[in-house]
Amino acid sequence: MIIADKRIKNLVLGSIVAVLVFLIWLRFVYSPLMQDQENLRTENATLHASLEMLQFEKQKLDRAVQVSSDKQQRLEKLAKLLVPGNSVQEVNASTQALMQKFWESHNIALRSYKEGRPEKWRKHTIGVVDYNFACKLEDLSNLLVYLDGLEKVMRIEKMTIRASRNRKRGEDQLMLALSIGTLFVDPV
């Protein structure tokens, strides 16, 4: 079939060229772009899933760090409560130094002082210091307030009180036998 009209011939030839250019564009430009777009979507979904997983891991690690930080703060608070010393004997000496401050500030004469036999509490050792002294009721009250205000891991293991009357002065005195236990934690 031969087309006689030049105008129609140019129109048909232009249409064929346009369709061929469209097909070539579709095959060599559009299809690879669409394939690249699909690959990028897949990669984006994979990266998004990885990001969510990493965010979840980050949250877990943040919680672990927070727990660790809380534990560290608790340990620091507990360490402040311990009487300083690397052995039971050193802890007992530190306890004696703390008590000596009280004895001196209240003019209480200490009759005797000795280290008692260490005791056990759970897996820790309790250093025991025994004191014998005479004091007034007010001094005993001050001693108990002092021990409470120390904020150290100390406790009264045993306290025996006996009343006596000073014949020379005519004063009532208390004779005390006091055992103070101090927690010792082995340094790790």
The Cα–Cα gap between 41 and 124 comes to 62
pLDDT tens for 38-90 read 999 999 999 999 999 999 999 999 999 999 999 999 888 888 888 888 889 99
pLDDT at site 187? 72
The Cα–Cα gap between 129 and 125 comes to 13
pLDDT tens for 1-41 read 566 688 888 888 899 999 999 999 989 999 999 999 999 99
State how far Cα 50 lies from the chain centre.
30
- Which DSSP symbol is given to 27? I
Residue 46 CA neighbour count, 13 Å, CB half: 6
Q: What percent of the chain has pLDDT over 70?
A: 95
Q: pTM, whole model, 2 decimals? A: 0.62
Domain range 88-184, CATH class: alpha beta
Taking the domains of the chain in order of start, what are their residue ranges?
Answer: 1-81, 88-184
The answer to whether 159 and 118 are in contact (CB under 8 A) is no
Cα dihedral sign, 57-59-62-66: negative
Question: CA 147, 152, 157, 161: dihedral to nearest 10 degrees?
Answer: -10
How big is the chain, counted in residues? 188
If residue 163 lies in a helix (H) or strand (E), which one and from where to where?
Answer: strand 154-166
Q: Which residue type sits at 167?
A: R
